[in-house]
Structure 1
Amino acid sequence: MSADLNARAALFRALSHPARLGLLRLIWTGPLSGDTLARLMNLAPATVSHHLAGLAEAGLTTVRQDGHHRLHGVNHAALGATLSALIRGEAAAPAAQDPYRARVLRAFVKDGRLTRIPAQRKKRDVILHELASLFEPGRSYSEREVSDALAGFHPDFFTLRRELVGLGLLAREKGVYWRVTEGVTPHTPQMADDLTLTLPGTVK
């Protein structure tokens, strides 16, 4: 069986549970956090996380970070295709989320917080790439800002900060950090240094 047919079948499997249809209905007009969805659905957060992961793996939802919360939205392009077009191959199957990434996030992220830092390098890299999305490309951050952002997810922000730099997801110079993104030039460290001088108590 072709990969394309498998992708189409995965879409129908993802829609085969009433809870998943209910979640899509709730986020149809705008993204919501997992905690909010759990409250509206009257389901345990772990149950909602499981169903959201199934929808994401099938490419039916989008996820973006907003502060300490992950907001789940609808992939309207994927759900806009007709059943006839999907079955006949006239519409593209949605791009599925990496199943391994989804499993790692489901195992280590609960209620918007990191339960523990994975010991296995491959799993840790998945978490670090997720945390890197907290930082806006093209913007400089003081060390205190980076630490505060990471502390919202796990108390060992020292390790997370060091690992993000070590993996090349964040760059650091003279106490200034910025997201490493191809084609995006951050503010110069000197400009950011001027900013950090006004922030006492910077974590070293």
Structure 2
Amino acid sequence: MSADLTARLMNLADATVSHHVAQLAEAGLILTRKDGHHRLHRAHTAALDLNLADVVRGAVSAPTPDDPYRDRVLRAFLQGGRLTTLPAQRKKKDVILHEPVTLFEHGRHYPEAEVNAVLGDVYAEVSTLRREMIGLGVLKRERGVYWRPAPPDPPAA
């Protein structure tokens, strides 16, 4: 549905609807495509299919490689494979944190010095990056040993 049609149906100003549509698109909750002079919007069902229990547990899936939001975030915060700054917004930070974890093998255990060396090639503030990755659950730690957890099983159909 276009923003101008939505504005008419809801008796709101076009600018108000456009503002909120832009916020929903930035949050990755809607997808937008151009159709002539109009932009058409639809729900991004993959982003909306999360349930509250998954969000609370941190079981949010990694961004998919074909996600346009992911691409925008990576272009904005990575330069030459290095992270320029860690985003403040949680959704953007989650996208960024799913990238360096791919440098670690599933099932392999790493001493902290090796983790620091790998992450140091990505970002200068290694301890911050490491702590954020652990907080998101994409990297695990116990007694100075780190590992990348196995990917979750796909939901039953």
TM range (shorter): 0.5 to 0.7
State the partner residue of 1:113.
82
Q: CA deviation at 1:182?
A: 3.1
What is the alpha-carbon distance in structure 1 between the residues aligned to residue 133 and residue 97 of structure 2? 6
State the partner residue of 2:135.
166
What is the alpha-carbon distance in structure 2 between the residues aligned to residue 120 and residue 126 of structure 1? 10
Q: CA deviation at 1:168?
A: 0.6
Secondary structure of the structure 1 residue equivalent to 2:130: helix
> 1:97-156, CA deviations, whole angstroms, 9 ceiling, x for partnerless residues?
100000000100111111111111110000000111111101100011111111111110
State the partner residue of 1:145.
114
State the partner residue of 1:127.
96
State the partner residue of 2:73.
104
> 1:20-59, CA deviations, whole angstroms, 9 ceiling, x for partnerless residues?
xxxxxxxxxxxxxxxxxxxxxxxxxxxxxxxxxxxxxxxx
- Once the two structures are aligned, what percentage of the paired residues are identical? 58
State the partner residue of 2:44.
none
Q: CA RMSD in A?
A: 2.4
**Which residue type is aligned with residue 124 of structure 1?**
K
> Does structure 1 residue 175 correspond to structure 2 residue 144?
yes
**Where does the alignment leave 5 or more consecutive residues of structure 1 unmatched?**
1-94, 185-204
> 1:84-106, CA deviations, whole angstroms, 9 ceiling, x for partnerless residues?
xxxxxxxxxxx971000000001
What is the alpha-carbon distance in structure 1 between the residues aligned to residue 110 and residue 143 of structure 2? 11
What is the alpha-carbon distance in structure 2 between the residues aligned to residue 156 and residue 118 of structure 1? 13
What is the alpha-carbon distance in structure 2 between the residues aligned to residue 152 and residue 142 of structure 1? 16
State the partner residue of 1:155.
124
Correspondence list, 1:79-98, <5 A: 97-98=66-67
TM-score, L = length of structure 1: 0.42
What is the alpha-carbon distance in structure 2 between the residues aligned to residue 169 and residue 129 of structure 1? 7
**Which residue type is aligned with residue 153 of structure 1?**
V
What is the alpha-carbon distance in structure 2 between the residues aligned to residue 167 and residue 145 of structure 1? 20
What is the alpha-carbon distance in structure 1 between the residues aligned to residue 87 and residue 120 of structure 2? 16
What is the alpha-carbon distance in structure 1 between the residues aligned to residue 82 and residue 92 of structure 2? 16
What is the alpha-carbon distance in structure 2 between the residues aligned to residue 96 and residue 136 of structure 1? 19
